[in-house]
Amino acid sequence: MNFDANASFLNPNFKPNIPVGTVLHLEGNDYEIIGVLEKKEENSNYYWREYYLESSFEGIRFLAEYEGHWMFLQEIPFVQLPRPSDTDVSYNETTYQLFNTYKAEIRAAAGVFPIDLSKVKHQQVIEYINPPELLTVEYDNEQTDWFLGKHIEPKTIEAASRNPLLMPHRYGVGAVQPGPVKFAYWEVLKFSVLAAIVLAITQLFFVITAPNSIVLDESFVIQDRDSLATVILSQTGKIIVTPSFELKNGTKNLDFTLNAAVSNSWFETEITLINEKTGEERGFSFGVEFYEGVESGERWAEGETTAEYEMEGVPSGVYHLEITPVREIKYNNSGVSYLALSDFKLKVKRDVPYYASLFFLLILFSLYPLVQYIREYYFESARWRHSDYSPYHSDD
């Protein structure tokens, strides 16, 4: 072991967060912190600490901490000659992406070390990452050392000590910190595409097999509610009671289509579906309106003469409808009032396939990968914020 207390680069006031002599139980072994280095990237304000750990069984290991993010490292056999131009390096069939290149210098030290610190005061460093792992090489004119590290949570280090530790606050995203989500964006996208295909096939099956049967298709004449209608016009006509119709095959939907030849007017119906056996009633209102004209020499139109309404979850049984028509009272050029409509059509279908739910689910399936992509993008962008090789930004 070496420690040159008179080395000019050493700071006698240096007090690391985890003091020399602390014993940490990590990965089934007891490690004693024998030395701590504080290093600095040359020509920058980036500082980090490296803890030298010694175990009677595993030898020397290392803890590195930067902005509250920790890695547990060990020296590995020679990988290749260090080349800053390499965009990636392979080790044990794993590819690591170039993350940083810089020159490191020792700023302060405490404890004893298995190396002569004066000989490694300045070293070139190249870092490659494949989160949660890091592959790094330190080299100078005399030697080259490779290290393999992996992310370790601060709480794991705290739990590894018998005594309370003063842990530094964690900032930002660490170089090899695992992502915030369990599945990567491309995995979620693949799942969503497969789910969308299965959903579309299932929907197509229901479209093909749905009976889409007509249970009512009639035209109705609106009769005045008041006996003196020739004198006093009423917007609301008499209640129309339809013939009975039977709904079969369990609980299905009903689709109502209303058609009325409105012109520059509106028409509305209040409809009540009545189960003739149980007396249960379900009601709703819907209507149509259509207006057109000419303005500044251009013809315009808005509204529709047809409207649809879907009623979900209607069980089997015998039913009839009670329909209350409501129409607009209009006035002619002489100021005489008249009713705008005399008849309308109503068609009711049973077990009609709808595509709205399919579109809604497809949107959900597309939103999930999108949200996942955004989360990954911002997380990875934060990870690479200090890297000169970031695929997420450039210093233009």
Cross-strand partners of 295: 298
Query: Can you tell me the mean pLDDT for 108-113?
Result: 90
Query: Can you tell me the mean pLDDT for 235-253?
Result: 91
What pLDDT, on the 0 to 100 scale, is given for residue 52? Answer: 97
What pLDDT, on the 0 to 100 scale, is given for residue 345? Answer: 97
> If you average pLDDT over each of 14-23, 130-139, 192-201, 387-396, which comes out highest?
130-139
Q: Nearest to residue 181, comparing CAs of 381, 386, 369?
A: 369
Residue 177 has pLDDT above 90, yes or no: yes
Give the C-alpha separation, 159 to 154, whole Å.
9
Q: Nearest to residue 221, comparing CAs of 346, 348, 320?
A: 346
> If you average pLDDT over each of 138-147, 334-343, 384-393, which comes out highest?
138-147
Give the C-alpha separation, 199 to 207, whole Å.
12
Residue 214 has pLDDT above 50, yes or no: yes
Which has the minimum average pLDDT: 135-139, 260-264, 369-373, 389-393?
A: 369-373
Length of the chain (residues)? 396
- Structure tokens given for 378: 């911002």
Residue 37 has pLDDT above 50, yes or no: yes
Confidence band, pLDDT 50/70/90 cuts, at residue 98: very high
Specify burial of residue 155 (Cβ count, 10 A radius: 0-12, 13-18, 19+): exposed
Query: Can you tell me the mean pLDDT for 236-261?
Result: 93
What pLDDT, on the 0 to 100 scale, is given for residue 200? Answer: 72
3-state secondary structure the chain: CECCCCCCCCCCCCCCCCCCCCEEEECCEEEEEEEEEEEEECCCCCEEEEEEEEECCCEEEEEEEECCEEEEEEEECCCCCCCCCCCEEEECCEEEEEEEEEEEEEEEEEECECCCHHHHCEEEEEEEEECCEEEEEEECCCCEEEEEEEEECHHHHHHHECCCCCCCCCCCCCCCCCCCCCCCHHHHHHHHHHHHHHHHHHHHHHHHHCCCEEEEEEEEECCECCCCCCCCCCCEECCEECCCEEECCCCEEEEEEEECCCCCEEEEEEEEEEECCCCCEEEEEEEEEEEEEEECCEEEEEEECEEEEEEEEECCEEEEEEEEEEECEEECCCCCEEECCCEEEEEEEECCCCCHHHHHHHHHHHHHHHHHHHHHHHHHHHHCCCCCCCCCCCCC
pLDDT per position as a tens digit, 38-87? 999 998 889 999 999 999 999 999 999 999 999 999 999 999 999 888 99
Residue 337 has pLDDT above 80, yes or no: no
Neighbouring C-alpha atoms within 13 Å toward the C-beta of 301: 6
- Structure tokens given for 8: 């000019």
The mean pLDDT of the chain is 87
What pLDDT, on the 0 to 100 scale, is given for residue 207? Answer: 61
Query: Can you tell me the mean pLDDT for 137-164?
Result: 94
pTM for the full predicted model: 0.63
Give the C-alpha separation, 4 to 313, whole Å.
84
Confidence band, pLDDT 50/70/90 cuts, at residue 7: very low
pLDDT per position as a tens digit, 185-196? 667 777 777 777
